[in-house]
Amino acid sequence: MTSVTMRNHRDCNVCDELGGRVGAFATMQNTRNLSEMTVEQARDFIESFDVVLSDCDGVLWYVDRPINGAIETLKRLQDLGKRVYLVSNNSTTSFDRYNEKVRSGGLELKPEQMISPSTVIAWYLKKINFRDEAYVIASPAFRETLRDAGIRMTPENYPSVPDDDAQAIVKAVLNVRSIKAIIVDFSLECNWAKMALAISCLKNDDVLYLTGAQDDWVVCGNDKKILGPGPLINIITKQSGRTPIECAKPSNVLKEHVLELCNVKEPKRCLFIGDTILMDMKFATMSGFQKLFVETGLDTIEDAIRDDELRPDYYISGLDALRTIIDSLPSNSANQKDS
C-alpha cells in the first residue's frame, strides 16, 4: 500500500511538472518569436504597422553605449516608410543629445519625433492654458524644455537654506503662494528642502501636481541597474496626500499626447517596442498598440508572458535581429503593399 501511494505521489509530481510545461508552452504560443517566423509571416508582420514607437534605455542603448544594431534597425524601418518616434521616460537628456546618439546609427530625428515626460508636460500645460508659476524638481534638460515652451518656473536653486538657521529653514520650505504647479521628475539636486517645499505647496488644492518618470530602476547595462526617481517621488505623493497627474509611461496623458502628435487613427497599426513589462508593455496595452518585447533591458520574456493582459504580441532577442529579418526578405517584399 505504501509503495502504491508513493508511486501515485511521484506520478502526480510528474503530471504537475508536465502540466506546467504545457501551460508555459501554451502561453508562449500567444507571444510569437519573430526569429521563428517564415518569410511570409515576417512580411505580414512588417506590413501590419505604419507607426513605430520605441523606448530608448535598454532597447537602443545602455546610458551612452549603443546596443549593437538597434538604432540601425529603426533607420531601416524608417527607410521602409514607417513613421518612427522615440518614447522615453528619460528627460535628463536634451533633444540635441538624443539626435547625436541616434545619428551614430544613421537615424536623423525631428523634435516632434522625440517624446519624453518633459515634452508631454509642456504640451499638457499649454493644453490647459496654464499661465502661473511652476516649481520644478527636474534635470536642467527637463527645465530647458519647459522654458522653451514658455512655462514660468521658480528659480532652479530655490529654496536655498542655511544649515545653521532653523527659523530660516522653516520659512524657506513653507508654502509659496505664487506656486500653482509642482512638477517632479528625475533630479540629481533633489533634496530635503525641495521635497519639503513641494509637499507644503501641495497642501493647497488649487496647486497642480504633475510627475514625469516614476521608474524604480534605471537600466545601465546587462544585469546592471541604478535607483530611479520613483522612490523619491513616492515620498512626495505619500506625504502630500495628493494623487499626481502622471505624464510618463504608462499614463493616459502620454497616451492622449501620442495619439494626437502621431495622428493615430488606428492604434493597431502602431508597433510599440520596449523592454519593460510595467512601463512599456502596459502603456502599449492601454493604448491598443501592437507590442514587441526585446530582451536587452530590464525584464525577461519569461516574466513578460506571465501576465495575460500585458503579454507582448511578439518578442525578439534584440532589435538587431529584426534588421536581419528585414534584410533577409526578398527585394521589396517588406513594403509590398506600397508598390
Q: Are 168 and 161 in contact (CB under 8 A)?
A: yes
Which of helix, strand or coil describes residue 155?
A: coil
In this predicted model, what pLDDT tens digit does every residue of 252-279 receive, in sequence order? 999 999 999 999 999 999 999 999 999 9
Is the omega angle on the peptide bond into residue 231 within 30 degrees of 0, that is, cis?
A: no
pLDDT of residue 218: 81
Q: Are 274 and 304 in contact (CB under 8 A)?
A: no
pLDDT of residue 336: 47
Q: Are 213 and 91 in contact (CB under 8 A)?
A: yes
pLDDT of residue 160: 83
Contacts of 68 (CB under 8 A, 6+ apart): 318, 320
pLDDT of residue 335: 54
Question: Hey, what's the cell of 29?
Answer: 504560443
DSSP for 83-131 reads EEEEE-S--SS-HHHHHHHHHTTT----GGGEE-HHHHHHHHHHHTT--
- In 3D space, the residue among 70, 72, 49 whose CA is nearest the CA of residue 59 turns out to be 70
Q: Which active-site residues does the annotation give?
A: 55, 57
The pairing of strands 224-227 and 217-221 is: antiparallel
For residues 205 and 47, give the distance between their C-alpha atoms in angstroms, rounded to a whole number.
Answer: 49
Sorted by where each starts, the structural domains of the chain and their CATH numbers stand as: 32-89+251-328 (3.40.50.1000), 117-246 (3.40.50.1000)
DSSP state at residue 62:
E
Mean pLDDT in consecutive groups of 10 residues from the start of the chain, 339 residues: 39 43 47 96 97 96 92 97 97 94 95 98 98 98 98 93 80 87 96 94 97 88 82 97 98 98 97 96 98 94 93 97 94 52
Residues contributing to the annotated binding site for Mg(2+)? 55, 57, 275
Which of helix, strand or coil describes residue 311?
A: coil
Question: What count of other Cβ atoms lies within 10 Å of the Cβ of residue 140?
Answer: 13
Q: 312: buried, middle or exposed (CB in 10 Å: 19+, 13-18, 0-12)?
A: buried
> Has this prediction a pTM greater than 0.85?
yes
pLDDT of residue 18: 38
pLDDT of residue 28: 55
* Cell 518569410 sits on residue: 39
- Which helix (H) or strand (E) is 50 found in, with range? none
- CA-angle at 59, arms to 53 and 60, nearest 5°: 90
For residues 323 and 42, give the distance between their C-alpha atoms in angstroms, rounded to a whole number.
Answer: 11
**Phi and psi torsions of 259, nearest 5°:** -60, -40
Residues contributing to the annotated binding site? 55, 57, 88-90, 249, 275
- In 3D space, the residue among 245, 320, 238, 315 whose CA is nearest the CA of residue 280 turns out to be 315
Distance of CA 15 to the CA centre of its chain: 40
For residues 239 and 257, give the distance between their C-alpha atoms in angstroms, rounded to a whole number.
Answer: 29
Residues contributing to the annotated binding site for substrate? 88-90, 249
